[in-house]
Chain A
């Protein structure tokens, strides 16, 4: 039973379009993350948030932007999609440090820009 939801699961879109990838979690976690992952490859952190109105860029430079207006919602936006943005995007959330700590991941959005 997923506690973190990503929509859409798959998206094929034309170059130049604006897109928003949705990520919502029902666990009340403060911390949320976006990773970019090419098939069979490592994870690259592109954005993270430690709470409402907090957003930071990750290790991998990305042309996307994020917002955190509500605790449960952490959408990622591409203003003008390009073929180089084709990838899988994974959203995750985590609780405060403690024995329950660990990331919970969504199922991902596979984006193809044509």
Chain B
């Protein structure tokens, strides 16, 4: 069975600093990987996804993520954080053999200091 771990429950960064949110997955085959962002009181919005090909994926809002098969990781990065990036971030892995169900990590809460 697939699983996703987001080791950091909370992260605080200063505005303008770089950001990296960690995601580790467990999956037997080539995974389909996703990052979603959730602002307070809202649903989840897709930031980016990886299916195959180039392991560095660009997303919306200036985010990118890199798939590293050897480390079973799909970390999310942003070079310069804005105060509006404060939100909850969820990593997810898809299993085409399980009815296309996504498994979500526990989430990382990002706080941005002025």
Residues of chain A at the chain B interface (Cβ within 8 Å) = 6, 31, 40-43, 45, 48, 50, 88, 90, 92, 94, 96-97, 99, 101-108, 110
Contact = CB atoms under 8 A, between A and B. Distances in A.
A97 B100 CA distance: 6
Contact of B107 (A42, A92, A102, A106): A42
A31 B92 CA distance: 17
Interface residues of B, number: 25
Q: Is the interface of B mostly helix, strand, loop or mixed?
A: strand
Contacts of A107: 42-43
Given A31-B100, A42-B104, A97-B100, A105 B43 contact: yes
B107 A101 contact: no
Contacts of A45: 101
Given A43-B104, A108-B41, 12 more contacts: A40-B88, A40-B107, A42-B104, A45-B101, A94-B102, A97-B100, A102-B49, A103-B34, A105-B36, A105-B44, A105-B45, A107-B43
